[in-house]
Structure 1
């Protein structure tokens, strides 16, 4: 299988996407990888796999690589006479945050008939917006923490009791997140969050709560990773998560009983199917008083959550053959022709 990895793009999480893409090179030894980079200006480049390094992007050296255009059927490089299509079997959308997780690129890839592993537009819309995620989880019967939404231009009293967490509504990787323990800390926390979004989400901060991460996808049946209990302090800040995105070694499995494991898996199934068919996602859960709560859905997890699987390469191979198929549509103008026939024209 030849796998194209699409990464970068116009996003606050651009650098994280670069780190995730480079990490895949180490964990897919049997797979031929084609790297397609989208820069901050949304230009596409074909990056030589054998020379890919983080410095190539920070220095701007990638601009000397082959420029690409996206059109019907795939990505193309211009030649002196004509153009050449970049050959691959399936693409992985590995763009974190804006462009990748908000539905922009998934819509483009679908429109141009490019086969890809990743969330489709509906799944992106739901998981990118933390308010929509909570509403969706409640709709499918999954618990969520209490929450309040604040808009920058419409201040209102906060009803959540201290301590609480302030999060930008549409951002991941713990960017812009603060724990607010008392009122004097609130103004600064809001200023930080509003740098990244004009709307924020406020949730109660529950110290010492158990958190568990589960990744997976659906092929013939569900494929689950191990369940991880991340080791953390108050919460995983950006620096900790940034280092986490380059992980390539399998982590240790959480020690939990069978009942809790099944509850977490059942919650994952309800969230995944059908909204995320074709994607490998990771769901982060809280467990409070033996009840499972959704924390967030990661539709494009860092390094594709490879560190949670025994055979990550095999998972991608299986998922490749179970991508969503569009509805077959007849290419005809029967309605217009019938009207013309009825009018004698």
Structure 2
């Protein structure tokens, strides 16, 4: 029997998407092929401590997305940068280390999806699932994502960028001069709709800006787009493939964090979405173009609006999308004929393939 591939599954983390990451990790642990892979569970606390969790109870309140938390009775560890590829060292002298074959960071948001962990993996000389440093950093920052996509000739929603150090009351008037209500306010470097608000007047706009600045020092105010909310998953390295298209039909004012991860009735998912063959092909081609423009690797989920005249307007790009049991990325591939377990296998293979190619 061949030796199992040792996968360091990284989850939790310092971002506001900590609980989403725990849910994603729980789903991956349940679906991964344990005959092929040995999962090394590395939980990161909300203050950044890395813990090697070797117990069966990895999570506390694991079945409740609102109260799920990390089991912290575990060994502190660190990933070593240097010649020893993928060496995971325990910080307690009596504990043995692990030699990882590949790192699978299921970390959403800052300190995980933004190039931080990707850079650490590169220093530690270990394959890492997903995009590299540059693509991860750019994909995390909605401002830079839009600039690059615009340069590539891909449509995005019109926007204004604000920074907390230079924000003033005059910016409210500047926004109103440029856009009609409603507008959307988003932290530039956050996902899962955390800190995102829909504003229908100046009072709501001021409150939305205040909220967004709690999560990031830079934010975007975007023009409201009237259109269908569609998503497409992309998978691959040099020759990426696009999934079928899914549609989110929100049952609330917009598809927020609660609708995504907590309220099962927050939105209706249409999989596959009812689109014509020509529109499907156009969406898939655009999604791959987005993936290639940002030089993504492994995976990405491309979120977009499609107007009545079938104009495609890119909303966001997620280089480490949610992997919970109700997340769109795995569901899109399941609807395309690729099971959750096989998707995990493919992602790990792509990471190893890309690492070997770079060497």
**TM-score w.r.t. structure 2 length?**
0.81
The answer to whether the aligner puts 1:298 opposite 2:318 as a matched pair is yes
Look up the match of 1:287. Answer: 306
SS of the equivalent of 2:245 reads strand
Could you give the per-residue CA deviations for residues 54-79 of structure 1, whole angstroms, max 9, x where no partner exists? Answer: 448967742x2122121032212256
The answer to whether the aligner puts 1:51 opposite 2:57 as a matched pair is yes
Look up the match of 1:189. Answer: 208
Q: Which runs of 5+ in 2 are unaligned?
A: none
CA contact (8 A) 2:234 2:299 kept: yes
The CA distance in 2 between the partners of 1:203 and 1:43, in whole Å, is: 36
Look up the match of 1:19. Answer: 23
Could you give the per-residue CA deviations for residues 61-109 of structure 1, whole angstroms, max 9, x where no partner exists? Answer: 42x212212103221225656x633244322111111101221111111
CA contact (8 A) 1:160 1:202 kept: no
Look up the match of 1:68. Answer: 77
Look up the match of 1:3. Answer: 7
The answer to whether the aligner puts 1:77 opposite 2:90 as a matched pair is yes
CA contact (8 A) 1:3 1:90 kept: yes
Quote the offset at 1:187 in angstroms.
1.8
After TM superposition, which residue ranges in structure 1, 4 or more long, deviate above 3 angstroms? 29-32, 54-61, 78-81, 274-278, 324-328
SS of the equivalent of 1:116 reads coil
How many residues align? The count is: 321
SS of the equivalent of 2:274 reads coil
Look up the match of 2:186. Answer: 167
Specify whether residues 49 and 123 from structure 1 end up closer, same or farther in structure 2 by C-alpha distance, changes over 3 A only: farther
Quote the offset at 1:49 in angstroms.
6.3
CA contact (8 A) 2:19 2:68 kept: no
Q: Which runs of 5+ in 1 are unaligned?
A: 329-345
Tell me the C-alpha RMSD between the 2 structures.
2.6
The CA distance in 2 between the partners of 1:121 and 1:244, in whole Å, is: 33
**TM-score w.r.t. structure 1 length?**
0.84
The answer to whether the aligner puts 1:222 opposite 2:246 as a matched pair is no
Quote the offset at 1:251 in angstroms.
6.9
Could you give the per-residue CA deviations for residues 137-183 of structure 1, whole angstroms, max 9, x where no partner exists? Answer: 11222111111112233322212221111111211111111111122
The CA distance in 2 between the partners of 1:295 and 1:194, in whole Å, is: 20
Look up the match of 1:309. Answer: 333
CA contact (8 A) 2:58 2:71 kept: no
The CA distance in 2 between the partners of 1:215 and 1:24, in whole Å, is: 17
